[in-house]
Amino acid sequence: MKHPRIALIHATPVAIDPIVSAFQRLWPDARTTSLLEDSLAPDLAADGRLTDRMIERFLTLTRYVHGCGADGILFTCSAFGPAIEAAAKCVPVPVLKPNEAMLDEALATGSRIGLIATFEPTIPALQAELATMAGTKKQIIHVTTSIVPDAAVALRNGNAEGHDNLIAGAAAKLTDCDVLVLGQFSMASAARLIPALAGRTVLTSPDSAVMRLKQALHA
C-alpha cells in the first residue's frame, strides 16, 4: 500500500494543522483527508459524560469516512476514548484513538507520568485509558495531572505563542516524572518550549500516532 488514504476526524479545528504537519514530516506518501465535527466537544461538555447518542455519532462518522475509501482512520479528539473504541469495531480498517500510541510509549518509558491538557474532560479520559493499558501490562503507575484552560482560550483567540507559553509553564512544574505527556493534538507546538530535563521524556500525540498508523498499514 504505497499511498494509503488516512481519514482524520477532528472535534476542533486547532487539531488539524499539528497532525497534517506530522504526516508531512513523517509519512509524506500518505494521503490525508480531514473531517471536522466541531459540535462534539461542546456537546460532551454540556452532557458531562459520553452518552449512547454521542457514541452513535462516532459510529456514523467512522462508517462515513470508511465509505469514502479510508485505509486507516485517526481521531484527533482526546476526550472520547470509549466512543472511538466502539467505532473501531464497525469497520475493517485500523482505527486509532488520538493518544493510544503516545500512551504506549509513555508506559514503555517509565511509571511516573505527567499529563497536561487544556480541555478538562481530556484528563479523566486519558487517566482511564492509562489505567486500563497499565493494568494489561501489570504495571503500577503514578500519574500527575495539570489542566491549563487559559491556554485553550488563548489558542481560540489566535494567540498561539501565549498558548504554548502557558503549557510550557505548566510543564515546568511537572519535573518529578519519567515522561511528560501533552494530552491533545493542539498542544504539540508547545513541546519546543519545554526545556529538556535529564530523565524526562516529552511526548506529543501527532508524531506517535503517525508512526503507529504507518507501521499498521505497512505490516
CATH number of 131's domain: 3.40.50.1860
Domain count across the chain: 2
Q: Which domain holds residue 163?
A: 100-205
Same domain, 199 and 212: no
Same domain, 138 and 120: yes
Residues in Cβ contact with 23 at an 8 Å cutoff, skipping those fewer than 6 apart: 6, 30, 32, 210
CA dist 170 → 31, 103, 146, 154, 165 (Å): 35, 19, 7, 15, 9
Residues in Cβ contact with 58 at an 8 Å cutoff, skipping those fewer than 6 apart: 75, 80, 83, 84, 86, 87
Residue reference for cell 452532557? 47
Same domain, 110 and 143: yes
Question: What pLDDT digit, counting tens, does each position of 13-32 carry?
Answer: 988 999 999 999 999 999 99
Q: Half-sphere exposure (CA, 13 Å, Cβ side) for 217?
A: 26
Q: Phi-psi region for residue 69, left (φ > 0), alpha (ψ -120 to 50) or beta?
A: left
Q: Rounded distance, CA 122 to CA 147, Å?
A: 9
Q: What pTM was estimated for this model as a whole?
A: 0.84
Residue 95: strand pairing partners: 73
| Cβ-contact 95, 84 below 8 angstroms | yes
Same domain, 57 and 19: yes
Same domain, 92 and 154: no
CA dist 4 → 25, 71, 73, 126 (Å): 16, 6, 11, 28
Question: What pLDDT digit, counting tens, does each position of 107-137 carry?
Answer: 999 999 999 999 888 899 889 989 999 999 9
Q: What is the pLDDT of residue 67?
A: 97
Same domain, 29 and 93: yes
Same domain, 136 and 183: yes
Same domain, 72 and 161: no
| Cβ-contact 119, 78 below 8 angstroms | yes
What percentage of the chain reaches a pLDDT higher than 70?
99
Q: What is the pLDDT of residue 196?
A: 84
Q: Which of the 8 DSSP states describes residue 110?
A: -
Stretch 213-217: mean pLDDT, rounded? Answer: 93
Same domain, 106 and 21: no
| Cβ-contact 183, 204 below 8 angstroms | no
Judge whether residue 219 has pLDDT over 70: no
Stretch 164-181: mean pLDDT, rounded? Answer: 95
Question: What pLDDT digit, counting tens, does each position of 63-113 carry?
Answer: 999 999 999 999 998 788 889 999 999 999 999 998 899 999 999 999 999
| Cβ-contact 34, 20 below 8 angstroms | yes
Same domain, 63 and 110: no
Same domain, 88 and 105: no
Q: What is the pLDDT of residue 47?
A: 92
Same domain, 76 and 119: no
Q: What is the pLDDT of residue 198?
A: 84
